[in-house]
Chain A
Amino acid sequence: MTTTVYSARRIVTMNPNRPFATHVAVRDGRILGAGSLEELKGWGEVEFDTRFADKVILPGFVEGHSHAFEGGVWKFPYVGYFDRTTPEGKAAPGLKSIDEVVAALQAHEKTLPKGASLLAWGFDPIYFGGRRMVVADVDRISTERPVVIIHSNFHVANANTAVLAKAGITRTTNVHGIVKDASGEPTGELQEMAAKYMAYRAAGVEIAAVLSDEQAVWRFARVAQLAGVTTATDLHNELPDSTVEGYLKASASDDFPIRLLPAFAATAIPPAEGVTRLQALVKKNNDKLRFQLVKIVTDGSIQGLSARMRWPGYYDGTPNGVWNVGPDDLDRILLAYHREGFQVHIHTNGDEASEVGIEAVERALAAAPRWDHRHTLQHAQMADAGQFRRMKALGMCANLFANHIFYWGDIHRAKTLGPERAERMDACATALATGVPFAIHCDAPVTPIGPLFTAWCAVNRLTASGRTLGEAEKIPVADALRAITLGAAYTLKLDEELGSIDVGKRADFAILDDDPLSVPPEKLKDVGVWGTVLGGKVFEAPKA
């Protein structure tokens, strides 16, 4: 029974009884105590570990809304506008023009075997001054092999002539989602179902399994760990046997660097079967793999113009979005899992979706009263103060998509929501004021996983163009740090086990180069992550 005491420049515990400490003692993968060296010596013989002496220790970050799919897509080249970090810890620099994207993929193309399709992801043309990628651009990469470049939102893609020809797409093809130019020719840009279908056709249907296999979840875990994350969700997965097997194998390894919480996609099979399946999966849980969450997706996305909005709808007059699971089905599915004691995470982007989600929980509680259910609205981007008050009254949580403020805030202000609703989107301050337990998230791979960046968004509310979007919804750094640790753990019903540095909890730490409470708030995202500790095991991040 070894007891290790780590010294640190500062330990930020999230435990209000002892908010800061200089030493933390770890035994059997759990926290024995945090305090002064003198205090911790009382536990008996200890080993000193001083490697964090100049570092700052926080509870390991908890990412409450991400997808292991992030690890899947790293199988393919990243061609986004913003810099990103690969699972190996290398910098994947942002590509700042269509020509740069084409050049990068021309080089990649030469490495592929004959006949193979070329897929890339993360492309985001909204920063290219209105210029869209067209089929001629993509044909410069290859005219022979199928080429599909998936956009950062995963709902749009660009394809080359080979893809269009194979599908018989011409100027006469009348299908929603095939973008055409002024002369009526397809530009190669495909949206929604058309994009998805072409990506799968090019990649082969087995790609779905590849994106969620054992290697993918390893890559996801590494990307998360590099950002200081020790617990992450895979918040929508059908959990086919092959995926479950991969997750079980990965999580059984001592070197697997995170605790993973997959959320069962409730629409995968009928609720009665789903409940049985999830109950069986729960029995396979281990320290690093927890089946316990359920996910239901109600509407689409705001920027994809598919969110379900209350009156007055989209700022630019776009018709209301679409239901994936409509109000009636939501009631039925939610109640089935609610009755069996599961916690349900409900994706709601638009405010009509949030309203429907809240009312579904209200009805489920009336039908089957239950305490401490913690059903959580995921995204709840447009929720207003009234909706937060209802969430509070019903015992619900919210997980707000703070990263949206940076990545799409300008678009929301100008086109989708208009200034007033954009300024109050992802309303962290309202959540605090109304007392709704909340987390903030990245939705990786939609945006990169990086809780300090997410906290920075909630604190500063700066858009990509540098505009402050909603002064009144900014929250203090301390509250943002709580939202990426104990707050997120609460929304996953793990707050008694992790999320703060407190006696008896898991020894899960984020090891930082600097103190996020001392740096200027606008520098929060730049605080370096040295690595993590998971259950007492140290994971140093490779240096970029």
Chain B
Amino acid sequence: MTAPIPFTVIGGFLGAGKTTLLNRLLRGAEGRRFAVLVNDFGALDIDGRLVAAHGGDTVALANGCLCCTIGDSLVTTLLGLLERPDRFDHIVVEASGVADPGRVADLAVLEPRLSRDGVIVVVDAAEVRARAADRRVGDTIQRQLKAADLLLLNKTDLANDLPALQVWLGTQSDAPVLEARHADVPLDLLFGLDRHGATAASPSSDTFASWSYTWPEPVDRDVLLAMLREAPGEVLRAKGIVRFADAPDRRSVVHLVGRRLEVGDEGPWGDTAESRLVILGLKPVLGSLQRE
């Protein structure tokens, strides 16, 4: 069986910046084939010169990515996508502005061909508090924030009082917060590492970086998982292929998105030399992790 395809859900209310983020993703895919399921690809900013094929509900891009319109049923659109002969490296779904993105991500748990990667909720820094207090949509917004593995706090340039907003977000959600303008964030922070494990080129910028660990000997499960669970808020993602001391003949996959930590099993350990874990996060904290 081929490895399951990582499945990411982008949630957030109308106007938060989901489409802007998806445009960045499609432009910055760099060799990875994303299938992106959106509510309206007319809203995407797809350069006509990059369109390889247009098939009604789908647009195939020259860089190997595919956009599909969700239409009336995400379930049938997703199943249709999985039946296609082409393989994708990552599937990203744009949840509707009123959907609970956590429920959408459940699909990846039900579908063996998918692995749940993360729920990213895009938040409009200028609007979110008013929306969350709205009589009719407030509870919807609150459910979205609660469902997030990572919050992308967008339009921070438009926020009145950013520190107060950060405090308030902390009361709504346990997810780490990544600040952005125009949804401009390093894509690897959101869409992670190569699906085959921690082998991708490490991304870096002024504000974030990656740190890679290797262990030649089997690793103590409790120690590693505790380290990840207790990692500071600036740690946004981690992925590793690990040989645990209590299961030395198994290839365990450790996966952290925001505060959601999962350990899976990918079969026998085989002849891989060492355990390897890559952490992505904001810079100052990685400095302290390095010291540990």
Interface residues of A, Cβ cutoff 8 Å to B: 166-169, 173-177, 192-194, 196-198, 200-201, 205, 208, 238, 265, 267-270, 272-273, 308, 319-320, 322-329, 352, 356
Most buried by A among B40, B76, B112: B76
Contact A267 B72 (CB under 8 A): yes
Other-chain residue from B76, B79, B98, B112 in contact with A167 (beta carbon distance below 8 A): B112
Other-chain residue from A176, A200, A267 in contact with B75 (beta carbon distance below 8 A): A200
Contact A197 B103 (CB under 8 A): no
Kindly state the separation between the CA atoms of A329 and B111 in the bound complex, as whole angstroms: 30
State whether A320 and B139 are in contact (beta carbons under 8 Å apart), knowing that A176-B103, A177-B106, A193-B103 are contacts in the complex: yes
Contact B106 A205 (CB under 8 A): no
Contact B72 A325 (CB under 8 A): no
Cβ-based interface call for B110 (8 A) = yes
- Please give me the residue from chain A that is nearest to B104 by CB atom: A193
Kindly state the separation between the CA atoms of A268 and B69 in the bound complex, as whole angstroms: 9
Kindly state the separation between the CA atoms of A168 and B104 in the bound complex, as whole angstroms: 18
- Please give me the residue from chain A that is nearest to B107 by CB atom: A197
11 contacts between A and B (CB under 8 A): A167-B110, A193-B104, A193-B107, A197-B110, A201-B111, A205-B83, A268-B71, A326-B14, A328-B14, A329-B96, A356-B136
- Note all chain A residues with C-beta closer than 8 A to B97: 326, 328-329
Other-chain residue from B79, B100, B104 in contact with A201 (beta carbon distance below 8 A): B79
Kindly state the separation between the CA atoms of A176 and B99 in the bound complex, as whole angstroms: 14
Cβ-based interface call for B245 (8 A) = no
Kindly state the separation between the CA atoms of A173 and B79 in the bound complex, as whole angstroms: 20
Q: List the 5 shortest-distance A-B pairs measured between CB atoms, nearest first.
A: A326-B98, A323-B98, A205-B79, A175-B106, A270-B40
- Note all chain A residues with C-beta closer than 8 A to B80: 205
Known: A194-B106, A325-B98, A326-B14. 9 other contacts (CB 8 A): A169-B110, A193-B104, A197-B111, A205-B80, A273-B42, A322-B98, A323-B137, A324-B96, A326-B140
- In the complex, per-residue mask of B90-119: 1 if CB is within 8 Å of any chain A CB, else 0: 000000111110111011011110000000
Give the number of residues in B that approach A within 8 Å (Cβ atoms): 31
Most buried by A among B14, B106, B111, B140: B106
Other-chain residue from A167, A176, A192 in contact with B102 (beta carbon distance below 8 A): A176
B110-138 CB contacts (< 8 Å) to partner A: 110-112, 136-137
- Nearest CB of A to B89, in Å: 22
Most buried by B among A173, A194, A269, A356: A269
Other-chain residue from A198, A270, A319, A352 in contact with B136 (beta carbon distance below 8 A): A352
State whether A174 and B110 are in contact (beta carbons under 8 Å apart), knowing that A208-B73, A208-B76, A327-B136 are contacts in the complex: no
Kindly state the separation between the CA atoms of A329 and B97 in the bound complex, as whole angstroms: 9
- Note all chain A residues with C-beta closer than 8 A to B76: 200, 205, 208
Kindly state the separation between the CA atoms of A324 and B104 in the bound complex, as whole angstroms: 13
State whether A270 and B79 are in contact (beta carbons under 8 Å apart), knowing that A175-B109, A194-B110, A356-B136 are contacts in the complex: no
Kindly state the separation between the CA atoms of A450 and B159 in the bound complex, as whole angstroms: 56
Other-chain residue from B43, B71, B73, B106 in contact with A176 (beta carbon distance below 8 A): B106
- Nearest CB of A to B139, in Å: 6
Kindly state the separation between the CA atoms of A166 and B79 in the bound complex, as whole angstroms: 15
Kindly state the separation between the CA atoms of A485 and B98 in the bound complex, as whole angstroms: 37
- Note all chain B residues with C-beta closer than 8 A to A325: 98
- Nearest CB of A to B72, in Å: 5
Contact B106 A329 (CB under 8 A): no
Kindly state the separation between the CA atoms of A356 and B107 in the bound complex, as whole angstroms: 30
- Nearest CB of B to A349, in Å: 15
- Note all chain A residues with C-beta closer than 8 A to B96: 324, 329
Other-chain residue from A200, A269, A308 in contact with B69 (beta carbon distance below 8 A): A269
- Please give me the residue from chain B that is nearest to A196 by CB atom: B75
Kindly state the separation between the CA atoms of A238 and B69 in the bound complex, as whole angstroms: 13
Contact B14 A175 (CB under 8 A): no
- Please give me the residue from chain B that is nearest to A238 by CB atom: B72
- Note all chain A residues with C-beta closer than 8 A to B71: 238, 267-269
- Please give me the residue from chain A that is nearest to B139 by CB atom: A320
B130-172 CB contacts (< 8 Å) to partner A: 136-137, 139-140
Kindly state the separation between the CA atoms of A308 and B76 in the bound complex, as whole angstroms: 25
Kindly state the separation between the CA atoms of A194 and B106 in the bound complex, as whole angstroms: 8
- Nearest CB of B to A68, in Å: 15
Kindly state the separation between the CA atoms of A518 and B139 in the bound complex, as whole angstroms: 51
Kindly state the separation between the CA atoms of A323 and B71 in the bound complex, as whole angstroms: 16
- Note all chain B residues with C-beta closer than 8 A to A194: 106, 110
- Note all chain B residues with C-beta closer than 8 A to A322: 98-100, 140
Most buried by B among A197, A308, A325: A197
- In the complex, per-residue mask of B7-29: 1 if CB is within 8 Å of any chain A CB, else 0: 00000001000000000000000
- Nearest CB of B to A362, in Å: 15
Kindly state the separation between the CA atoms of A238 and B103 in the bound complex, as whole angstroms: 23
Most buried by A among B72, B76, B99, B137: B72
Contact A198 B42 (CB under 8 A): no
- Note all chain B residues with C-beta closer than 8 A to A326: 14, 97-98, 136-137, 140
- Note all chain B residues with C-beta closer than 8 A to A176: 102-103, 106
Contact B42 A270 (CB under 8 A): yes
- In the complex, per-residue mask of B39-80: 1 if CB is within 8 Å of any chain A CB, else 0: 010110000000000000000000000000101110110011
Kindly state the separation between the CA atoms of A352 and B111 in the bound complex, as whole angstroms: 34
Kindly state the separation between the CA atoms of A323 and B137 in the bound complex, as whole angstroms: 9
Other-chain residue from A175, A308, A323, A356 in contact with B110 (beta carbon distance below 8 A): A175
Contact A329 B98 (CB under 8 A): yes
Contact A272 B136 (CB under 8 A): no
- Nearest CB of B to A12, in Å: 40
- Nearest CB of A to B78, in Å: 9
- Please give me the residue from chain B that is nearest to A177 by CB atom: B106
Contact B75 A193 (CB under 8 A): yes
Contact A174 B139 (CB under 8 A): no
Contact A167 B111 (CB under 8 A): yes
- Note all chain B residues with C-beta closer than 8 A to A308: 136
Contact A200 B110 (CB under 8 A): no
Kindly state the separation between the CA atoms of A124 and B43 in the bound complex, as whole angstroms: 42
Kindly state the separation between the CA atoms of A193 and B136 in the bound complex, as whole angstroms: 23
Kindly state the separation between the CA atoms of A197 and B82 in the bound complex, as whole angstroms: 13
- Please give me the residue from chain B that is nearest to A236 by CB atom: B72
Contact A193 B79 (CB under 8 A): no
Most buried by B among A166, A200, A326, A327: A326
Kindly state the separation between the CA atoms of A198 and B102 in the bound complex, as whole angstroms: 18
